[in-house]
Amino acid sequence: MGATISMTEEEILARAAGFTAGLKSHPKEVAEAIAASRRMAGAFTRPADEKAEPMPAYAAPLPAKASRA
């Protein structure tokens, strides 16, 4: 069997986001980014139906026809 690697949750998230070098050189900033992401993820209510769209789809209005004077 292979060796077991013990990683903290912050290390796992940093590695998933590609911030392994940043975690070593700027651990406070990476921790702040993780905390901000958690706050943002919890700030939005999820719809009861997973297939429901959170807001209606928008269509860009057609451009007005230019008039030649």
Residue 18, pLDDT score: 85
Query: What pTM was computed for the model?
Result: 0.53
Residue 41, pLDDT score: 83
Residues of the chain with pLDDT under 50: none
Residue 49, pLDDT score: 79
Residue 3, pLDDT score: 63
Distance, in Å, from the CA atom of 66 to the CA atom of 69, rounded to the nearest integer, reads: 9
Distance, in Å, from the CA atom of 63 to the CA atom of 58, rounded to the nearest integer, reads: 15
Residue 8, pLDDT score: 86
